[in-house]
Amino acid sequence: MSRKYFGTDGIRGRVGVHPITPQFVMNLGYAAGKVLAKVEHTQNDRPGVLIGKDTRISGYMLESALEAGLIAAGIDVYLAGPIPTPAVAYLTRALRLQAGVVISASHNPFEDNGIKFFSGSGEKLPDAVETAIEVALDEPMQTNPSEGLGRAKRIDDAVGRYIEFCKSTFPANMNLRGMKIVVDSAHGATYHIARHVFHELGAEVIAIGAEPNGLNINDGYGATKPLNLQKAVVEHKADVGIALDGDGDRLIMVDGAGKLYDGDQLLYVIAKHRQAEGNMKGGVVGTLMTNLAFEHVMQHLGIPFARAKVGDRYVMELLQQKNWQLGGENSGHIICLDKHSTGDGIVSSLQVLHALRMKQQTLAQAAGDLHMYPQILINVKTAKKEDFANHPKVKNAVDAAEIMLDGKGRVLLRPSGTEPLLRVMVEGEDGVKVKLCAEKIAEAVRGVAG
């Protein structure tokens, strides 16, 4: 069945507009609680659910609504306060709870918020469970009798537990002494965590984007707005810069000269290091948007490579199908399944730093063998969602582009999942040809889309 609320990354929208309202979120908590309560337990205790959130001002309101719904359904609630999304995944697993819930809209502005769930194993809920929750949402809310209500408890050491977990993913016989690192937390969920992880491993840390006020998350800082990080790295003569997004699961890095490195480049550094160390299990999963140069360099290294649909959820699914450990997106979601059950910006940055320390290289040196191909993305507005990619005029434009690229490039047409747009992406070795091809295809799409 098609789902009304759950997308590829939970439920997300503008605060105060359905479904991101207190009433709906309370009903969602109740519905999720009823679904979780049907799960068999080895003990006769109530199911437990952890709630974490980022730093948006609306998090207080939605946390209270979610807590009320879960308790009304007979679920014990564990409140962790502001912590990153991957911290919720870790703590849910560590505390042996039935689920974890994150209140966050990731890299979106503060006016948005969202809800996403993790299973007891620290992975995103299976589609079947999310569908069951949607079915339960259509049923009337009937509060449990008083003796059947859940209880709430605050986890006072959630931050400290997660800091220690992150540090445990870095070799115990290695440190970061002598390194100067600028860490940008996007005024988000890692503001009181990221700096301590790197500092406790020995680095000199300059923290920016670490003063949240409820309204400034992702505003001019973080993985999607790295200009301030680039300036700070150069100003402080730092070795490297690390930018996380609002909920801490996305990573972008900067070298000492202020040059940006995206998820493809960082994934390459990790993969190349693991292969050199003999620790590469299987291959690497990218997405339809992974740069073609990455695919070519994986072939050169003899590392298997596969593409998933765009979205870290699909990267995870393909990793599990192939029993591989490493994957990611160019947006900065990197998954290291031997370290964590989900993408984690801090943990991923530590894997990059491990490679740099082991080889005694700078980030520029470690990523220097990957020469990214020029990539042009044009969003073409369409009057309605339609299969324009198979229209004869568009197909002719694509065929002409592929002839021009001569096997040294790639064309991808991808409809937006949320709005009437067709995304035209062209990449290849020759930037002039790439730009010309993208413009020609976009022109053809506009011609048939009106």
Strand partners, 307: 286
Answer for the pair 95, 50: CB distance below 8 angstroms, yes or no: yes
Q: Which of 58, 104, 106, 341 is catalytic?
A: 106
Residue 226: half-sphere exposure toward Cβ, Cα within 13 Å: 26
b/e 333-342 (16+ beta carbons within 10 angstroms → b): bbbbbebbbb
Residue 124: half-sphere exposure toward Cβ, Cα within 13 Å: 22
The single residue listed with the structure tokens 């399944």 is 337
Residue 273 CA to residue 421 CA, distance in Å, equals 39
Active site residue 106: yes
Question: How would you class 208 by CB atoms within 10 Å of its CB: exposed for 0-12, middle for 13-18, buried for 19 or more?
Answer: buried
Residue 433 CA to residue 368 CA, distance in Å, equals 24
User: Residue 218 region, left (φ>0) first, then alpha (ψ -120 to 50), else beta?
Assistant: left
| Short-list 266, 239, 238, CA closest to 252 | 266
Residue numbers annotated as active site: 106
